[in-house]
């Protein structure tokens, strides 16, 4: 990036609206949430009111779902990131070669990205993974195996699979685009030097894709932190707390138990967790930005 | 290269296989939409197609009104979003200050609060602003939600434009307007348009706020789906028909503009 | 685009401020009875040209969240809401609902079951009109029972159920002996488990509001439930609520099902059910005591006080819960699928009795369900499968989640009940019930 020019008023004015509205959009609800998190506020029982000190945070801390929720949030993000980046890279390499009907195949691969989260979840819950009528259950039964109750016995695995299916196209799109700018001469030179395709993959392709991977990780993390519709639709956070993430926990406190105070405390803790995660992301991103721009 | 040609054949098949597997659930949904309710529960691939489920869905909900709302909200919010994002990104890319990077990071971090955590504050604010069940309210919220992504992406596209070109134009005495129209617009347009596609997709699929802040008038397709999402006896065919109707417009749009989407989503990741 | 939006906004403004007909926005749940009401509602609009109906139909959990935020913040987005027997008195106590008074004589409010009217009242004032009412009962496949030479007694016990389930389960043929609710939630699995605990002699609280969830009665009942479901129930039981079980039973995958009496109508409709005509109906099973062995629930129409179209909304609510509507429904789809459980006159109608083999059992169950005396021992609360305090949603859901966790094998019954006991203790202490 070139050296900064001294900002003048017009330039500041260009940036002000975006920064201003975002600031309001963040600070007003946040301030209200912080306030709510320190009072007793139950939508259904206005009799319980008043300053609660740290009571809401204490109750949340003692909530048997709280630590599982943090763990689940991180497990979900981590697994989906690994799956989408690894498979996205392999797919990008696979699709970078010319082959018959590549454009149509690309259309099919990116299709899941257009589907509403609720629809994806309904589709997988019912038509694909339903333990009695789902296609997988039918297939298992057809070859004489006992159908597996995916969302009951492997709830987290199922959610991870579902979310990965939704986000794989996104990772693929970005990595695929990045693949296109791979220097062909460099590759040919390596080929002439007798490098095997595996060697080329690790020494030329992967380093080239590093920045794109960073982008995928960052954008996906932002969206995955607040994954909600998929869990709500398929497992409702269960069985037990097996798939309750922070977003779902906050939902169940606020919109199922109508305890706004408790839900706000959960929201604040979610913000803190998000900031911890983003701290690491920013470090990573700063590295990737240094490379160019 | 005799040996590798054979291997390439296998890889082609593999690529197609993966594509088909990834697409299969959507294909199956489309197929189920044309089955009868009873037939939807059997795994038959061959059946007599029927439009019954579509008829029932159309009779039961006002698809057109929901779809129009979805279109207004996703396009409206994208326009609003760009009105705010492009000037900011322009400034950040061409006149960066020491604070620029932290401003960008801060913008992205505003997206990390789970929406559910701020439902009540936003609900109360929307209520006092008269924006409950209003298209404008949802346009505003979707625009704000997507603003960080829009700023960031526009910023990366602007960064790819060589500064020398701009400076040369300025030396020639070109005004800001001229600079934007003749130099920036053509060079950044591919990137901006793919960003627009992404924003439209994100707004189209936004379900939390649209379900919680609308009732009858402003409800988009995500609300339409919410009335088919829980079982009611045999319901897969109806659900599939409704789902197909809800995702079809955005999917067709995405497919038609696939080239743009595939080449434009660089996020500054390509040198 | 912008132009379109502006014109749309103007159009909407015009619609709300100048147009002659009053718009009534209705928040409702997506069940078949409600879909039918929406289908028939143009008849109401034709008879009342000054009223225009606008529907928001969503699934139950979304509905509950939407309605509660709307009403408790006084937003007035909805003019008529679909409320449960649980919420109505709690909302009414807060002054959030419009009293249903001076109802026209032609409505014959006395014809509505007294248990429902009581349940939908607060300090003897009625706040909601029941669209349908339900208790719980046992549904079973007569053909499968005959094939195995089994006979259903008039009043089965839970021991009988276990024997039947063992005899009827044929997993290789995809037939499960019994299906029950497993999906966590105070209105889902806890509705059934609540009745099972009641009839096993347990209760949620004792007279001093001390939670009873860690007592042997609860442990026996929950262990029984989990064994039954693990051995003879369908896979994926923790995902099954009322609707999922209806699907399972309607497609012939289960031999017995204990659930809401309203299921009977759908099961008898050949269009929706593959087992129509093969289903038998019996009273909900009992164990130690008949008290609280079958629940009482109703979905009813109520008008938020914040609504600006209260008069028009009441007019529609009266129509939708009237005898006239029930007759209209019968003419459209047949007597078996009319909204059940609200009016004595429906059950006295010979045509209903003829076409609805479940009428007698439903009527008996509804008449004997007594929310004021739900347990073997006296308790300080009202409600059979629920506790009529606002905090119930919170601990009821936690207990439901823990039991679902135990059903899925993620924790032991003892652990689950311990977690439930802690949640309930905290809730009643915070709410000031338990001193």
DSSP result, B190-241: HHHHHHHHHHHHHHHH--HHHHHH-SSSS--HHHHHHTTSS--SS-HHHHHH
Q: Which of B131, B232, B237 to mutate to test the interface with C (most CBs of C within 10 A)?
A: B232
Check whether B245 has a pLDDT greater than 90.
yes
Task: Measure in Å the smallest separation between the Cα of C201 and chain B Cα atoms.
Answer: 33
Residues paired with residue C51 on neighbouring β-strands, in sequence order: C22
Distance CA C135, CA C113 (A): 12
Over residues C171-194, the pLDDT tens digits come to 888 899 999 999 888 888 999 999
Q: What is the pLDDT of residue A273?
A: 86
The pLDDT-based confidence of A3 (bands split at 50, 70, 90) is: very low
The pLDDT-based confidence of A82 (bands split at 50, 70, 90) is: very high
Q: What is the pLDDT of residue B11?
A: 86
| Element (DSSP H or E) covering residue C332 | helix C323-333
Per-window interface: C 261-300 vs A, CB < 8 A: none
Over residues C163-176, the pLDDT tens digits come to 999 999 998 888 99
Contact (CB, 8 A) for B114 and A224: no
- Residue C272 with chain B: CB contacts under 8 Å: 37, 233-234
- A233 contacts B229? CB cut-off 8 A: yes
Assign C211 to helix, strand or coil.
strand
Over residues A93-139, the pLDDT tens digits come to 999 888 888 889 999 999 999 999 999 999 999 888 888 888 888 88
- C272 contacts B37? CB cut-off 8 A: yes
Instruction: Choose from A197-211, C19-33, C166-180 the range with maximum mean pLDDT.
Output: C166-180
**% of chain A exceeding 70 in pLDDT:** 94
Task: Measure in Å the smallest separation between the Cα of B270 and chain A Cα atoms.
Answer: 6
The pLDDT-based confidence of B3 (bands split at 50, 70, 90) is: very low
* Phi, psi of C237, rounded to the nearest 5 degrees: -60, -25
Its ipTM equals: 0.86
Over residues B133-153, the pLDDT tens digits come to 999 999 999 999 999 989 988
**% of chain B exceeding 90 in pLDDT:** 28
Q: Where are the beta strands (DSSP E) in C37-195?
A: 51-58, 80-84, 121-122, 125-126, 129-134, 136-141
- B267 contacts A174? CB cut-off 8 A: yes
Q: Between β-strands C129-134 and C297-302, what pairing exists: parallel, antiparallel or unpaired? A: antiparallel
User: Which of C94, C174, C248 comes nearest A46 by C-beta?
Assistant: C94
User: Which of B107, B243, B251 comes nearest A123 by C-beta?
Assistant: B243
Check whether C18 has a pLDDT greater than 70.
no
The total of structural domains in chain A comes to 1
Task: Flag whether A32 is in a domain.
Answer: no
- Residue B36 with chain C: CB contacts under 8 Å: none
Query: In the CATH hierarchy, which top-level class contains the domain C136-294+364-430?
Result: alpha beta
Q: What is the pLDDT of residue C282?
A: 95
Closest to C304 (Cα-Cα) out of C130, C55, C127: C127
Instruction: Choose from B108-122, B178-192, C409-423 the range with maximum mean pLDDT.
Output: C409-423
* Phi, psi of C30, rounded to the nearest 5 degrees: -90, 60
* Phi, psi of A225, rounded to the nearest 5 degrees: -60, -35
- C25 contacts B60? CB cut-off 8 A: no
Task: Measure in Å the smallest separation between the Cα of C181 and chain B Cα atoms.
Answer: 14
Distance CA C292, CA C369 (A): 7
Per-window interface: C 94-113 vs A, CB < 8 A: 94
Distance CA C328, CA C114 (A): 24
Task: Flag whether A23 is in a domain.
Answer: no
Residue entry with tokens 């389930």: C165
Contact (CB, 8 A) for C403 and C222: yes
Supply the DSSP symbol for C22: E
Task: Flag whether A218 is in a domain.
Answer: yes
> Which of A132-136, B175-179, C181-185, C283-287 shows the lowest mean pLDDT across its residues?
B175-179
Task: Flag whether A192 is in a domain.
Answer: yes
Check whether A86 has a pLDDT greater than 80.
yes
Query: Measured in whole angstroms, how far is the alpha carbon of residue A192 from the centre of its chain?
Result: 41
Task: Measure in Å the smallest separation between the Cα of C421 and chain A Cα atoms.
Answer: 12
Check whether C386 has a pLDDT greater than 90.
yes
Check whether B192 has a pLDDT greater than 90.
no
Tokens of A172: 């693929």
Q: Which of C36, C53, C69, C336 to mutate to test the interface with B (most CBs of B within 10 A)?
A: C69
- B127 contacts C4? CB cut-off 8 A: no
Check whether A4 has a pLDDT greater than 50.
no
* Phi, psi of C79, rounded to the nearest 5 degrees: -100, -25
- Would an 8 Å CB–CB cutoff place A157 in contact with chain B? no
Q: Between β-strands C22-29 and C80-84, what pairing exists: parallel, antiparallel or unpaired? A: parallel
Q: Where are the beta strands (DSSP E) in C237-313?
A: 256-260, 279-283, 297-302
Measured from the Cβ of residue B17, the count of other Cβ atoms closer than 10 Å reads 11
Over residues A21-50, the pLDDT tens digits come to 888 888 888 899 999 999 888 888 777 777
Check whether C425 has a pLDDT greater than 80.
yes
Where in the sequence is the domain holding A243, given as residue range(s)? 56-291
Q: Give the angle subtended at the CA of A168 by the CAs of A162 and A174, to the nearest 5°.
A: 160
As annotated, the residues of chain C forming the CATH 3.40.190.10 domain(s) are 2-133+297-355, 136-294+364-430
* Cβ-proximal residues to C162 (8 Å cutoff; 6+ apart), any chain: C224, C228
Distance CA B189, CA B172 (A): 23
- A19 contacts B103? CB cut-off 8 A: yes
Task: Flag whether A24 is in a domain.
Answer: no
- C404 contacts A48? CB cut-off 8 A: no
> Which of A95-99, B73-77, B197-201 shows the lowest mean pLDDT across its residues?
A95-99
CATH fold group of domain C2-133+297-355: D-Maltodextrin-Binding Protein; domain 2 (3.40.190)
Closest to C230 (Cα-Cα) out of C165, C286, C285: C165
| Element (DSSP H or E) covering residue C25 | strand C22-29
DSSP assignment of C77-98: --SEEEEETTHHHHHHHTT-B-
Q: How far is CA A92 from CA A102, A110, A186, C151, in A?
A: 12, 12, 18, 63
Full-model pTM: 0.84
Q: Which of C390, C396, C424 to mutate to test the interface with A (most CBs of A within 10 A)?
A: C390
Tell me how many residue pairs between chain B and chain C have CB atoms under 8 A apart: 94
Contact (CB, 8 A) for A214 and B269: yes
Residues paired with residue C55 on neighbouring β-strands, in sequence order: C26
User: Which of B25, B91, B250 comes nearest A124 by C-beta?
Assistant: B25
Instruction: Choose from A67-71, A198-202, A231-235, B59-63 the range with maximum mean pLDDT.
Output: A67-71
The pLDDT-based confidence of C363 (bands split at 50, 70, 90) is: very high
Over residues C117-132, the pLDDT tens digits come to 988 999 899 999 999 8
Check whether A76 has a pLDDT greater than 90.
yes
User: Which of A114, A228, A233 comes nearest B251 by C-beta?
Assistant: A114
- Residue B41 with chain C: CB contacts under 8 Å: 251
Contact (CB, 8 A) for C51 and C24: yes
Per-window interface: C 191-250 vs B, CB < 8 A: 243-244, 246-247, 250
Task: Measure in Å the smallest separation between the Cα of A245 and chain B Cα atoms.
Answer: 11
Q: What is the pLDDT of residue B268?
A: 60
Over residues B232-254, mean pLDDT: 87
User: Which of A32, A173, A278 comes nearest B262 by C-beta?
Assistant: A173
- C30 contacts B228? CB cut-off 8 A: yes
Supply the DSSP symbol for C408: T
Distance CA A80, CA B236 (A): 28
Q: What is the pLDDT of residue C7?
A: 62
Residue entry with tokens 């509001």: C209
Closest to C342 (Cα-Cα) out of C381, C300, C405, C282: C300
- Mean pLDDT for chain C overall: 89
Measured from the Cβ of residue A154, the count of other Cβ atoms closer than 10 Å reads 15
Q: What is the pLDDT of residue C191?
A: 95
Closest to C196 (Cα-Cα) out of C181, C215, C179, C218: C218
The pLDDT-based confidence of C62 (bands split at 50, 70, 90) is: confident
Distance CA C60, CA C66 (A): 10
Over residues C211-239, mean pLDDT: 94
Task: Flag whether A151 is in a domain.
Answer: yes
Task: Measure in Å the smallest separation between the Cα of B23 and chain A Cα atoms.
Answer: 5
The pLDDT-based confidence of C26 (bands split at 50, 70, 90) is: very high
- Mean pLDDT for chain A overall: 84
Assign C338 to helix, strand or coil.
coil
- Residue C97 with chain A: CB contacts under 8 Å: none
> Which of A31-45, A58-72, A134-148, A279-293 shows the lowest mean pLDDT across its residues?
A279-293
- Residue A152 with chain C: CB contacts under 8 Å: 235-239, 408
Task: Flag whether A27 is in a domain.
Answer: no
CATH at residue A158: 1.10.3720.10
Over residues A202-226, mean pLDDT: 86
> Which of A176-180, B31-35, C254-258, C330-334 shows the lowest mean pLDDT across its residues?
A176-180
Distance CA B42, CA B40 (A): 6
Residue entry with tokens 């595939």: B262
The pLDDT-based confidence of B191 (bands split at 50, 70, 90) is: confident
Over residues C90-113, the pLDDT tens digits come to 999 999 999 998 899 999 999 999
- C237 contacts A242? CB cut-off 8 A: no
């Amino acid at each position: 990036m070139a050296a900064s020019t001294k900002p003048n008023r017009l330039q500041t004015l260009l940036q002000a609206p975006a920064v201003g509205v975002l600031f309001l959009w963040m600070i007003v609800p946040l301030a209200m949430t912080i306030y709510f998190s320190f009072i007793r506020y139950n939508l259904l029982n206005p009799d319980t009111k008043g300053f609660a000190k740290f009571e809401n945070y204490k109750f949340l801390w003692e909530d048997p779902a709280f630590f599982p929720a943090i763990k689940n949030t991180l497990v979900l993000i981590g697994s989906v990131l690994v799956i989408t980046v690894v498979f996205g890279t392999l797919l990008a390499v696979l699709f970078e070669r010319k082959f018959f009907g590549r454009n149509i195949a690309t259309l099919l691969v990116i299709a899941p990205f257009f589907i509403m989260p609720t629809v994806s979840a309904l589709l997988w819950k019912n038509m694909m993974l339903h333990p009695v009528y789902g296609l997988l259950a039918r297939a298992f039964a057809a070859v004489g195996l006992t159908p597996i109750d995916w969302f009951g016995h492997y709830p987290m695995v199922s959610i991870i699979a579902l979310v990965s299916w939704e986000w794989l196209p996104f990772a693929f799109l970005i990595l695929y685009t990045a693949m296109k700018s791979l220097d062909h001469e460099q590759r040919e030179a390596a080929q002439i030097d007798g490098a095997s395709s595996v060697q080329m993959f690790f020494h030329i392709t992967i380093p080239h894709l590093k920045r794109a991977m960073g982008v995928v990780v960052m954008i996906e993390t932002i969206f995955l932190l607040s994954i909600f519709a998929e869990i709500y639709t398929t497992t409702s956070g269960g069985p037990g707390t097996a798939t309750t993430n922070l977003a779902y926990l906050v939902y169940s406190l606020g919109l199922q138990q109508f305890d706004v105070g408790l839900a706000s405390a959960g929201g604040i803790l979610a913000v803190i967790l998000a900031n911890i995660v983003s701290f690491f992301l920013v470090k990573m991103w700063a590295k990737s930005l240094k490379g160019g721009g | 290269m005799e040996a590798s040609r054979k291997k390439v054949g296998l890889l082609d098949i593999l690529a197609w296989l993966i594509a088909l597997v990834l697409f299969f659930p959507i294909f199956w949904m489309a197929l189920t939409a044309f089955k009868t309710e009873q037939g939807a529960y059997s795994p038959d691939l061959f059946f007599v197609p029927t439009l019954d489920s579509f008829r029932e869905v159309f009779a039961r909900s006002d698809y057109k009104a929901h779809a129009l709302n979805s279109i207004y909200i996703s396009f409206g919010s994208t326009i609003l979003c760009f009105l705010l994002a492009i000037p900011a990104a322009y400034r950040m890319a061409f006149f960066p200050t020491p604070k620029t990077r932290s401003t960008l990071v801060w913008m992205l971090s505003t997206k990390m609060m789970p929406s559910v955590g701020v439902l009540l504050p936003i609900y109360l604010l929307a209520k006092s602003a008269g924006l409950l069940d209003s298209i404008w309210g949802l346009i505003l919220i979707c625009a704000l939600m997507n603003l960080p992504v829009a700023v960031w992406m526009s910023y990366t596209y602007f960064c790819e434009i060589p500064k020398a070109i701009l400076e040369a134009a300025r030396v020639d005495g070109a005004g800001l307007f001229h600079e934007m129209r003749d130099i920036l617009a053509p060079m950044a347009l591919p990137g901006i348009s793919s960003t627009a596609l992404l924003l439209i997709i994100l707004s189209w699929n936004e379900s939390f706020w649209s379900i919680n802040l609308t009732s009858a008038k402003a409800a988009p397709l995500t609300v339409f789906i919410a009335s088919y999402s829980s079982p009611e006896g045999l319901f897969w065919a109806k659900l599939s028909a409704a789902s197909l109707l809800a995702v079809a417009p955005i999917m067709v749009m995405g497919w038609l503009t696939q080239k743009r989407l595939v080449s434009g989503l660089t996020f500054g990741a390509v040198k | 685009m912008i132009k379109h939006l502006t014109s749309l906004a103007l159009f909407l403004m015009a619609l709300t401020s100048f147009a002659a007909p009053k718009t009534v926005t209705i928040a409702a749940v997506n069940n078949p009875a409600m879909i039918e009401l929406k289908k028939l509602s143009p008849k109401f609009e034709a008879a009342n040209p000054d009223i225009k109906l606008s529907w928001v139909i969503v699934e139950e959990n979304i509905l509950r969240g939407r309605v509660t935020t709307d009403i408790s913040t006084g937003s007035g987005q909805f003019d008529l809401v679909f409320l449960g027997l649980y919420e109505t008195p709690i909302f009414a106590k807060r002054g959030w609902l419009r009293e249903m008074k001076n109802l026209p004589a032609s409505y014959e409010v006395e014809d509505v079951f007294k248990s429902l009217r009581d349940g939908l009242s607060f300090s003897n004032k009625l706040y909601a009109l029941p669209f349908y009412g339900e208790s719980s009962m046992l549904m079973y496949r007569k053909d499968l029972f005959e094939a195995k030479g089994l006979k259903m007694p008039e009043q089965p016990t839970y021991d009988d159920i276990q024997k039947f389930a063992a005899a009827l389960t044929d997993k290789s043929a995809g037939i499960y002996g019994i299906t029950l609710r497993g999906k966590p939630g105070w209105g889902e699995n806890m509705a059934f488990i609540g009745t099972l605990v009641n009839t096993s002699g347990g209760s949620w609280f004792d007279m001093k509001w001390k939670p009873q969830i860690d007592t042997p009665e609860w442990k026996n009942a929950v262990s029984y439930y989990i064994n039954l479901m693990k051995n003879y129930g369908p896979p994926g039981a923790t995902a099954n609520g009322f609707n999922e079980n209806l699907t399972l039973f309607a497609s012939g995958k289960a031999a017995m099902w204990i659930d809401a009496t309203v299921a009977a109508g759908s099961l008898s409709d050949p269009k929706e059910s593959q087992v129509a005509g093969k289903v038998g109906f019996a009273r909900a099973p009992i164990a130690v005591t008949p008290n609280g062995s079958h629940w009482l629930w109703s979905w009813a129409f109520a008008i938020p006080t914040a609504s600006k179209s209260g008069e028009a909304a009441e007019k529609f609510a009266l129509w939708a819960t009237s005898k006239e509507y029930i007759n209209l429904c019968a003419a459209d789809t047949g007597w078996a699928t009319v909204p059940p459980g609200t009016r004595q006159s429906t059950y006295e109608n010979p045509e209903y009795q003829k076409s609805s083999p479940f009428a007698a059992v439903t009527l008996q169950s509804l008449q004997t369900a007594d929310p004021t005396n739900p347990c073997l021992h006296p308790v300080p609360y009202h409600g059979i499968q629920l506790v009529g305090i606002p905090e119930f949603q919170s601990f009821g859901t936690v207990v439901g989640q823990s039991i679902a966790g135990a059903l899925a094998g993620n924790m032991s019954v003892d652990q689950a009940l311990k977690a439930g006991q802690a949640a309930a203790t905290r809730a009643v202490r915070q709410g000031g019930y338990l001193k």
